[in-house]
Structure formats: structure tokens, C-alpha cells
């Protein structure tokens, strides 16, 4: 229970940073997607089930935030983030703590998939078919920027995950 609450608070912190700090450091109105970085990192460190749940609730928080901003589709981002977290959880068995390549590659793939799905659902279905413009101006720059942020924040996420696991293990050991 304590583990879930800790992860939820980390998720809220990432959401607040996504809404406040990330627009302040945007380059050419492109902001990194911190919630994808969080979902990929924790899905990779904790497995399929945790990745799926973390992705779902991260996406749900993003949907609720977007509802406030005027987008009225709830569950859209929750669905995308859930699948990203679940698919990243598959790599849990081959995950090494010190290796940064796997989280970076999965973050790039997750952000690319997110950008493509958003393009199809929000632009292509409305008849806006200038795919290469959207790819060149939004998807690729956001993916690169998210990967750079993941390089910095991955160690922080890893440290916090180890601390959460250590606290949970100590709690279980004292209970038994």
C-alpha cells in the first residue's frame, strides 16, 4: 500500500513538472513528455502489471488535465500510456540497472508510438493529411527532447524506485 502511494505521489510530481516546468524549458514550442519517461522507466523497472497500471493512471491524469484545457476525450491518453507501460514491462527480465540504453530506446519508441497514435486520432481522422510536416515538426523533435530528459531523469527514477523497494522490503521484513 505504501509503495502504491509513493508511486502515485511521484506520478503527481511528474504531472506537475509536466505542466509547470516543462513548458518553461520548451524549445520552439516543443516540450518533453515527462509522463512517457516516467511510465517507460517504471514499467521497465517493475514489470508488465506495474507498467500497465502506472501507464494507465499517468494517462488518466493527463486526460483529466487535458479535460480542463478543453479536450473532452477521457481515456485516450490512459489507453496509450497503458499499452506503452505494458510493452515496456516485457523488458523487465532483461533489464540492467546501470544500462541506460534500454530505457532510452524504449522511451524513443514509446514517444514515437504516442506521437503517431495522436496524429492518427486527432489529425488524420479530421482530414489533415500532412503527415511528414507533423512528423518533422512535432513527433521527431518531441521524441529527441524526451530522450534527452530521460537521460537526465532516469537515474533519479532508478534511485527513487530502489528506495521505494527497500522501504517496502523493510516493511515486509518487520511484519514477518
Strand partners, 27: 30
- Does position 12 have pLDDT exceeding 70, yes or no? yes
| Coil/strand/helix, residue 36 | helix
Task: Determine the pLDDT at residue 173.
Answer: 62
Quickly state the pLDDT bin for 176 (edges 50, 70, 90): low
Tens-place pLDDT, residues 80-93: 999 999 999 998 88
Percentage, residues of the chain above pLDDT 70: 94
CA distance 41 to 50: 11
Yes or no: domain 30-167 corresponds to CATH 1.20.120: no
> Between residues 121 and 109, which one has the greater pLDDT?
109
- For the chain, the structural domain boundaries read 30-167
Q: What is the pLDDT of residues 17-68, one digit of tens each?
A: 998 888 888 888 899 999 999 999 999 999 999 999 999 999 999 988 877 7
- Residue 94 region by backbone torsions, left for phi larger than 0, else alpha for psi between -120 and 50, else beta: alpha
What is the structure's pLDDT at 175? 57
pLDDT at residue 74 in the model: 86
Residues 22, 72: Cα–Cα separation, whole Å:
23
pLDDT band at 105; cut points 50, 70, 90: very high
Amino acid at each position: 500500500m505504501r509503495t502504491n502511494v509513493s508511486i502515485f505521489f511521484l506520478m503527481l510530481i511528474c504531472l506537475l513538472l509536466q505542466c509547470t516546468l516543462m513548458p518553461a524549458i520548451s524549445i520552439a514550442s516543443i516540450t518533453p513528455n515527462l509522463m512517457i519517461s516516467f511510465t517507460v522507466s517504471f514499467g521497465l523497472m517493475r514489470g508488465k502489471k506495474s507498467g500497465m497500471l502506472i501507464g494507465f493512471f499517468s494517462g488518466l491524469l493527463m486526460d483529466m488535465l487535458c479535460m480542463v484545457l478543453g479536450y473532452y476525450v477521457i481515456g485516450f491518453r490512459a489507453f496509450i500510456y497503458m499499452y506503452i507501460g505494458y510493452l515496456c514491462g516485457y523488458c523487465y527480465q532483461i533489464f540492467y540497472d546501470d544500462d541506460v540504453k534500454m530505457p532510452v530506446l524504449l522511451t524513443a519508441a514509446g514517444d514515437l508510438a504516442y506521437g503517431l497514435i495522436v496524429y492518427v486520432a486527432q489529425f488524420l481522422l479530421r482530414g489533415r493529411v500532412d503527415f511528414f510536416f507533423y512528423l518533422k515538426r512535432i513527433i521527431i523533435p518531441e521524441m529527441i527532447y524526451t530522450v534527452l530528459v530521460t537521460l537526465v531523469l532516469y537515474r533519479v527514477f532508478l534511485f527513487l524506485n530502489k528506495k521505494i523497494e527497500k522501504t517496502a522490503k523493510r516493511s515486509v521484513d518487520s511484519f514477518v
